Chains A and B, each alone.
Chain A
Amino acid sequence: MLDFLINGTDIQKGLFVTLVGMIGVFSVLILFYLIIKLFSGAFFNTGKQQDQGQ
């Protein structure tokens, strides 16, 4: 697959970068989203409890 692209035209390479780039950006930000959700679920309540305690 990559060999085909390396020998391909610039427009083919550009389309590949566009496709993989957009998927990559979404994938990485989905990971960040999951991290935020994980941290939020695990620690938002702790924050609230600390507030109430104060």
Chain B
Amino acid sequence: MIANLIVTYPEQPELEAFTSSDNVYEFKMSELEYPYLHFKRAYVTTNCGLTKVEIVGQGRLNDILSDSLQQPSKTWRRLVGTFAKSSDENNISLYVYAVDGFTVDTLRIEYVRKPKTCFFGGYNSLEFKQCVATNGENCSQYYNTTTPLQDIEINENYLTTIVDIAVKEAARVMRDTGTVQLQMEKINSITN
């Protein structure tokens, strides 16, 4: 469904660690080729070769790091990673936990990128207007009347489903409960 949004190596080059201390390596998602949306898989190159990173949530991190059967291990070529705020900006970083003698070099990550905002053309976007109003730099990066059309970055086979969802949301705004109900029935019958 969203295969065209999944970015893999080598289209996404390997990332160098932004910081590393006490066997924790930080890789910034803001340095990726495309805007990051969701995680798929991650490997790192180490002094023991290419190793998969097991991603865990913040809730389980402490337990896993202190559990001898799950914590990072050079013997078992096991690494643990988690997502948290970047050390120098308000963005996301992947932190990879290693152990002494198990050094991490670069990260190969597979992720879902954020699709571009679609644009029909003929109007100035709010971002463009705000940029102009505040005398910002490089305002032409935002959609404006001279920007060409921007198609929806989803496979054409799913266009009708996207439009059905859009109609449902429009009907919700208009308090048109009958249409909302009908559209939800239709979407659920297609996707379930």
Is the pairing of A and B real? Answer: no
A residues touching B (Cβ–Cβ < 8 Å)? Answer: none
